[in-house]
Structure 1
């Protein structure tokens, strides 16, 4: 276990060990007053002995008092230093671990997260590091202090009378055997406890996020049932631990009390009895030795009792440490030694194939997006549209073929270089519990305030920002909780515009907003994609009619490609999808604020079609 702790401590291991050593010294110093008291008592009951000093000049009450005062002062210094050094080392280690694992998680491929639930992922940064924290900050030093007090206390008793030391330690043997038994149970059961706690965390977050659905469908909903099962599993595992460990801990404390029984039954000098302290009458020196052993036993049994709790912390830390190290064992996607530089902003998929956990998703995908043109990808749900975006962004690596930007395989580019070339606007946006300005500036931390405002204006969100209580300095809550969905989406577009990458990927950016916000978002996107290479993922075909190239996906294959007019004339799957959406549209006549359809004569104004999303001038 110490090896694991030192590995987690990293460059701070020496400071951590120094804090433990100081606490061990403090533990040893805590026993010195008992030794001074014994020497002074022996001086009183046996004055003038060689051990006590010549003519009463040894451990006088005044000298003993001064010595104890010196010990108290020394302990004050040592204990303060141990807390300062040990706690500082522990918190420095935790800071390094949190930043290290956050950076490590950031570098892991999305496929790693897709195989794990929220509780398991968050557990690395929250639960596991939370379990490691008390050990690094306090418990390791406390265990070192307890072991030191036991060892030093028994050694002091043995120096006075080794037989009394044996009597005091007679309870340690059965207690040690019970501790070994408890540790075995903890090693086997602690991983299960950590697992059910992670599951409970996942279900709690899921329950809170879906509280609206829970209210709508009542307490018998699936989310509530999952939460109840997680709570019950957490209860059962902890009760199981209590049954094993609780009973064993009671027996452990009982065994330790045998030391008191042995010391009093066989070590207490009684007139006329044969004892290890002497024969017959009470020898004052023997009685002083017995008192010393009794007081010292009380001092060392206290830390021995604490070892049960400390052992539980240690085993919990062992399990969490192993989980942290297992996370670290999962590495990021391969990184090239030298990052290649794309020649332009073109995008090309060459014979790409990809599967999720053995299930094929994309098969033999080949297409090219010329610089500063728009390509739209359409198809039914599950056709593989979003997977194309994931492979372009290298959230996953292809199983076959390659994805190129400007003639360079994305696997030959470092992550930071790849993201300098790509801006993605997802259907699901992410904002931070920070100011509006900080959320927009996240795309480019060195951007000036004027550049932030310009991006907000272009993204059609400057107006509502100025209506917020503190304007650009308004804190918007977790994931922009104080804003509407359309406002949050426009902020994410402002962030993307500030980044100003040559390739823009739009993954259903307007799919979940109302009509008013959709119009504003379309205007914002039109401003963003000027002179950019655009990959547009969409379900609504009316939004892709102006694309230079439309790809139709079906079951992971490109089954049709061409322009809007050419695909309609070809009568293939795109034409069938268009007819179905047109039929649905005829059932629900558009309101004046509905997105226009450039191919629908009823939506032409003055002989010219109204501008549709994607109807943006771009050069080929």
Structure 2
């Protein structure tokens, strides 16, 4: 069956354990047949004493003892086989899902970051949790039902053919009709299961969005609107579940009806043959045992067919993520000769939307290069391309003359440190959060990094120092404290290239001063790429690159660009005309970078 083939395909190392579980299930089913055979054998002399001749050990005075021992062996064997199959099946299921989640996480970690930015977080979460869990239950819970459903009816039909060929045909027809109904049920469930997975993924996304944005929701009294969206997602999930149920109930009810119809025809046939004398009482008993007992597993398996279909859809969704090609991962891990950054005729777009059109510029090693322009000009895209979240559609990006596509991801991560408004910490100790920058850092190096990032006051306030766990990913810290801890991580990382993406735009005056002092120390002697909206923060940059609608309009120093009267001069003039410029912005210092004007 397709479900078992799919399961064995994704099982990997657990494939042998699952195959052994299937064999133990087959042995369990044979043990189930043995008591019926013994009961039948014991009744043969009573049903047909003139014609039946049993072995001495089944017909002599010790026959009850032997039959009892065989029944005991059969039941003990059944229990042993069931226990072994359960251990193998459930164990394989748990290990399979653990490995599968680890494989998915590893694959996601090596995918272009742009792929994840373009995909709903709730959908990815649903694949990792909900879909993988749907696969987990197959080896231990569902596999026994389907092994029994596949073996016992076949054994029964074989026995029926041996006793009365017409009875075998009747049971075969009933089985074929039930399987056809079940196959139709599975086809009908395919679309419903896909809609169910999509609805649950959307619900996960809305829940994550609501929890992450709870502060904004409360601050702007948006609870009603957000709850309406969540209610809609809940209703869609409910309706998708109802759709599965409605599509499943009628066909699933029809399959047992087909089996019951076959059993009824068999009873009529047995009665007719008994009256005509062409069927012995022993043969009639055997056929009745087959009809009553051996079709029961198939009827039970029908109840789980919806879960099997959901498992198949889950495997398809897992396969869809694993099929996304990874970025090229070259083996050459040598360092570029210097940290000069060059964009050479770079073209890039998000889908059909062009963002960068033939952009070329050089950020010299050890100097500050600023990227400015209106919103949507492509500034942040440049930073993301440099971090190789995507590859350019045309042109190339080099560090020290080496194409980014020729550098392993780990080497790019060593070369580039990013400081942005979006700071990510983890619910780990401060020590472990810092060591993300360099896992082998000593405690003295971590404390030096904290001092350089102006975090002495924060460290002094933490109850357990470096061992303090940042609960809820450091949500209790202020924005400035989170930013300075991120800078401490970069001090430890000690990368030759630093990208600043509006690193101080959302901080208060005191925190901005501390962060700027830390940045001045962090960026000293490094190649710095600054993505800025506030032009006064980059007045001292060695080079300013001006973008407009994805095209490089001009580049040069602050003074030269202002004197040139081009796009930068127009941006500067618009800034000086903005409300509050004279009162606040004219006195604001530039970003404290090497060579910046004070």
Q: What is the aligned counterpart of 2:180 among 177, 182, 203?
A: 177
Q: CA deviation at 1:96?
A: 2.3
Deviating above 6 A after TM superposition, structure 1's stretches of 4 or more consecutive aligned residues are: none
Between stretches 331-340 and 156-165, larger displacement belongs to 156-165
1:93 aligns with 2:96: yes
Match of 2:83 in 1: 80
Match of 1:276 in 2: 273
Render the CA deviation track for 1:354-384: whole Å, top value 9, x for unaligned: 2222322222322222221111112211111
Change in 2 beyond 3 A, CA 1:340/1:444: closer
Q: What is the aligned counterpart of 1:261 among 234, 240, 264?
A: 264
Match of 1:61 in 2: 64
Match of 1:602 in 2: none
Match of 1:249 in 2: 252
Match of 1:21 in 2: 23
Match of 1:271 in 2: none
Q: CA deviation at 1:422?
A: 0.8
1:330 aligns with 2:324: yes
Render the CA deviation track for 1:439-492: whole Å, top value 9, x for unaligned: 221222222233223222222234324423433223323443232322222222
Q: CA deviation at 1:159?
A: 4.8
Match of 1:37 in 2: 39
- For structure 1, the residue ranges without an aligned partner over 5 or more in a row are 269-274, 599-611
Render the CA deviation track for 1:506-531: whole Å, top value 9, x for unaligned: 11112223333222222222222122
Change in 2 beyond 3 A, CA 1:339/1:66: same
Q: Is the 8 A contact 2:519 2:593 kept in 1?
A: no
Q: CA deviation at 1:583?
A: 4.7
Match of 2:73 in 1: 70
Change in 2 beyond 3 A, CA 1:308/1:450: farther
Q: What is the aligned counterpart of 1:614 among 589, 592, 598?
A: 592
Q: Is the 8 A contact 1:6 1:13 kept in 2?
A: yes
Q: CA deviation at 1:421?
A: 0.9
Match of 1:375 in 2: 369
1:151 aligns with 2:129: no
Q: Is the 8 A contact 2:123 2:202 kept in 1?
A: yes
Aligned-partner SS, 1:394: coil
Match of 1:603 in 2: none
Render the CA deviation track for 1:244-272: whole Å, top value 9, x for unaligned: 3212222222222224433444435xxxx
Render the CA deviation track for 1:285-325: whole Å, top value 9, x for unaligned: 71x55445444444323311222233222222222222222
Q: CA deviation at 1:132?
A: 1.8
Q: Give the 5 Å matches for 1:117-266.
A: 117-156=120-159, 158-159=161-162, 171-215=174-218, 216-218=220-222, 221=225, 223-266=226-269
Q: What is the aligned counterpart of 1:504 among 498, 502, 507?
A: 498
Q: Is the 8 A contact 1:131 1:316 kept in 2?
A: yes
Q: CA deviation at 1:535?
A: 0.8
Q: Is the 8 A contact 2:97 2:133 kept in 1?
A: no
Distance 1:262 1:119 in 2: 52
Aligned-partner SS, 1:367: strand
- For structure 2, the residue ranges without an aligned partner over 5 or more in a row are none
Q: Is the 8 A contact 1:129 1:320 kept in 2?
A: yes
Q: What is the aligned counterpart of 1:526 among 499, 504, 520?
A: 520
Match of 1:52 in 2: 54
Aligned-partner SS, 1:30: helix
Q: Is the 8 A contact 1:339 1:412 kept in 2?
A: no
Distance 2:262 2:159 in 1: 16
Match of 2:510 in 1: 516
Match of 2:412 in 1: 418
Distance 1:24 1:454 in 2: 65
Q: CA deviation at 1:100?
A: 1.6
Q: Is the 8 A contact 1:43 1:59 kept in 2?
A: no
Match of 1:607 in 2: none
Q: Give the 5 Å matches for 1:561-576.
A: 561-576=555-570
Q: CA deviation at 1:326?
A: 2.5
Aligned-partner SS, 2:529: strand
Change in 2 beyond 3 A, CA 1:476/1:62: same
Change in 2 beyond 3 A, CA 1:33/1:461: farther
Q: CA deviation at 1:562?
A: 2.4
Match of 1:546 in 2: 540
Q: CA deviation at 1:410?
A: 0.9
Match of 2:335 in 1: 341
